[in-house]
Amino acid sequence: MKKIVFIGSASGWGAQIRGTEKGPYHFQNSKEFSSLPSSWIWKETLAPLKTAEEIFLPPGYLTLPYVEDICLRVAHSIEETLKNKDFPIVMGGDHSVAAGTWAAVARHLKAKEKLGLIWIDAHMDAHTMETTPSKAYYGMPLAALLGHGDFSLVNVLAKGPILSPQHVCLIGVRSYEEGEENLLKRLGVRIFYIEEIEKRGFDAVFQDALALVKKGTKGYGISIDLDAFDSEEAPGVSAPVPHGLRQKDVFPVLKLAQLKNDADFKALEIVEYSPDRDKNDKTLSLMRDILLNLLS
Angle, CA 57 vertex, CA 121 and CA 133 arms, to 5°: 45
Q: What are phi and psi of 2, to 5 degrees?
A: -70, 165
Q: Considering the complex, state which of residue 36 and residue 205 has its C-beta at the smaller distance from Mn ion.
A: 205
Q: Min. distance of Cβ 268 from Mn ion in angstroms? A: 15
Q: Min. distance of Cβ 117 from Mn ion in angstroms? A: 13
Closest C-alpha to 108, from 89, 83, 142, 77: 83
**Of the listed pieces 69-77, 121-129, 167-175, 181-189, which binds Mn ion according to CB under 5 A?**
121-129
Q: Does 95 bind Mn ion (CB under 5 A)?
A: yes
Q: Min. distance of Cβ 140 from Mn ion in angstroms? A: 10
Strand partners, 4: 87
Q: Does 121 bind Mn ion (CB under 5 A)?
A: yes
Q: Does 21 bind Mn ion (CB under 5 A)?
A: no
How many C-beta neighbours within 10 Å does residue 283 have? Answer: 28
Q: Considering the complex, state which of residue 125 and residue 230 has its C-beta at the smaller distance from Mn ion.
A: 125
Q: Does 125 bind Mn ion (CB under 5 A)?
A: yes
Helix (H) or strand (E) holding 44: strand 41-46
Q: Does 225 bind Mn ion (CB under 5 A)?
A: yes
Q: Considering the complex, state which of residue 225 and residue 278 has its C-beta at the smaller distance from Mn ion.
A: 225
**Of the listed pieces 79-87, 168-176, 183-191, 218-226, which binds Mn ion according to CB under 5 A?**
218-226
Asked whether the beta carbons of 18 and 52 are under 8 A apart, the reply is: yes
Q: Min. distance of Cβ 282 from Mn ion in angstroms? A: 19
Q: Min. distance of Cβ 253 from Mn ion in angstroms? A: 21
User: What is the identity of the amino acid at 152?
Assistant: S
Measured distance CA(213)–CA(265) in Å, rounded: 10
Measured distance CA(114)–CA(74) in Å, rounded: 21
Q: Which residues contribute to the site for Mn ion (CB under 5 A)?
A: 95, 121, 125, 225
